[in-house]
Amino acid sequence: MRITGGEARGRLVPSPEGLAVRPTASKIRQAFFNILQGKVGQCDFLDVFAGTGLMGLEALSRGANSLVSIEAERRMARALEDSLKALGFDGEVICGDYRHILSTLPPLKFDIVFADPPYKTNYPNGVVEMVELHDLLKSEGILAIEHKRDFRFDQPKGSLKVYDRRQYGQTAISFFRMQSGEADILR
């Protein structure tokens, strides 16, 4: 797996052997960063279910100011720390359950929160709930969740609503932001 843009473009990001991973495909990563291109430079980026850390590393390569990565698998978190060092990037890697970590983060707010939870779970709804409950987004912040194309989010309870959804084969990314009133889905 290689970083697709920015100062570390083309650099390899290894994955620990023996661990099942489903990294975000390069086509989807490129599309994601193209959609948010004006927001990534100097942003504070949170990567939930970081896995290999490719999305957060890509954000740093493209000019993000800071990175916090959350990963439950200890070997994967160590590999991500090694990748940060090898690429010369600063970032924080926190190993543990996303619900506990999101509820105990210091009072930080992020410009972009990206989550790529396991596909066969209801975690996407949990991420939306936790991000809103713990007020993790800056006023113009964006939450982006990668999920199976046929996944349906619960009806939003708060003001964090879907404003865009992009599909790539069997994968989709839903984009959320704080809104009052009805969501304005962009195409």
* 167: in domain: no
* 75: in domain: yes
pLDDT at position 187, please?
38
| Model confidence at 181: pLDDT above 80 | no
* 113: in domain: yes
| Model confidence at 185: pLDDT above 50 | no
Number of folded domains in the chain? 1
* 34: in domain: yes
Structure tokens at 86: 């090898």
Higher confidence at residue 121 or residue 136? 136
| Model confidence at 156: pLDDT above 80 | no
- Bridge-based pairing state of the strands 137-148 and 171-178: antiparallel
The CATH number of whichever domain residue 66 belongs to comes to 3.40.50.150
Quote the radius of gyration of the chain (alpha carbons, Å). Answer: 15
Which one, of 114, 68, 117, 124, lies nearest residue 91 by Cα? 68
Residues 135 and 108: their CA atoms lie apart, in Å, by 9
- Domain housing 69: 30-118+131-156
Place of tokens 């970590």: 101
Summarised one tens digit per residue, pLDDT across range 4-60 is 999 999 998 877 776 666 678 889 999 999 999 889 999 999 999 999 999 999 999
* 12: in domain: no
pLDDT at position 24, please?
80
Backbone angles phi and psi of 32, in degrees to 5? -55, -50
75: three-class secondary structure by DSSP: helix
Place of tokens 């493209």: 62
* 78: in domain: yes
**Element containing residue 125 per DSSP (H, E):** helix 123-133
44: three-class secondary structure by DSSP: strand
Summarised one tens digit per residue, pLDDT across range 55-103 is 999 999 999 999 999 999 999 999 999 999 999 999 999 999 999 999 9
* 170: in domain: no
Whether 119 and 147 have beta carbons less than 8 Å apart is answered as yes
Residues 138 and 141: their CA atoms lie apart, in Å, by 5
Q: What is the rounded end-to-end Cα distance, in angstroms, of the chain?
A: 29
Residues 115 and 143: their CA atoms lie apart, in Å, by 8
